Amino acid sequence: MIEIISIHIPKTGGQSFYQVLKQVYGDRLSIYYRRRDYEAVMEEHRRFEDSLAPQLKVLHGHLYYKEIKRLHKHTDAKLICWMRDPVERVISNYNFFKSRLERPDLNPEVARLNAHRKDETLLEYAGRRHTRNRMTKFLKGVRLEDLYFIGFLENYDQDLNRLGRLLGWGDIDIPHLNQGQSTRQEELDETTLKKLRRWNRRDIKLFEKAKSLRML
């Protein structure tokens, strides 16, 4: 039975966290669900939970809460997610997107479908409706107060150790993956920052609430 559900919001340290989960849970951990993996499962199964092997205890991936809500309610699994400063997250997601277009061998399908966007600027990318407020979209339907744990990428090692103590993990190695060089907020002009903040104001509000809950 699933005991932990880890919702991986893009560019919040999810690949590194998956490696930690693999250390602790081994074959009781699910595959790393990317969006294409979830969509492939749903082509074969009426309900996502019907596809899960009985020995699995931990589920991790790019899964929207609405997609695992029934499983969460049925199992009362501990819900975990990591968050990040919303503007930094958008910038990182943009750089990741561009890197995949520059290296089409890493994901040929994404590169093929988005070849026309090779010269897209940060503001052009961030202005697209589907790129805005992604943390809010992933967590829609669940209250922050009902999550078992919220970690912050800015405090990754500290928060990971805190989670390990809560779950009784013992000693773990802490990997840091996908740490390429990228643009930072301080390198952007104020006009660009204002647009990024306006387009992601729901995520900013959510992030601030999550930080306030951490202080309680």
The pLDDT value given to residue 183: 63
DSSP states of 134-171: HHHHHHTTS-GGG-SEEEEGGGHHHHHHHHHHHHT--S
C-alpha angle 93/24/207, rounded to 5°?
A: 35
pLDDT tens readout for residues 34-64 = 999 999 999 999 999 999 999 999 999 999 9
Nearest-angstrom CA–CA distance, 5 and 73: 11
Which range has the worst mean pLDDT, 98-102, 156-160, 174-178, 202-206? Answer: 174-178
Mean pLDDT calculated for residue range 68-83: 96
CA dihedral 83, 25, 169, 10 (to 10 degrees): -10
Higher local confidence (pLDDT), 182 or 178: 178
Q: Are 141 and 65 in contact (CB under 8 A)?
A: yes
Please name the residue that has the structure tokens 């596809």.
51
Dump pLDDT digits (tens) for 133-181.
999 999 999 999 999 999 999 999 999 999 999 999 998 888 887 765 5
The number of domains in the chain is 1
Answer whether 0.85 is exceeded by the pTM: yes
Domain that holds residue 48: 4-214
* Per-residue pLDDT, 125: 97
pLDDT of res. 216: 55
CATH number at residue 61: 3.40.50
**174 SS3 class:** coil
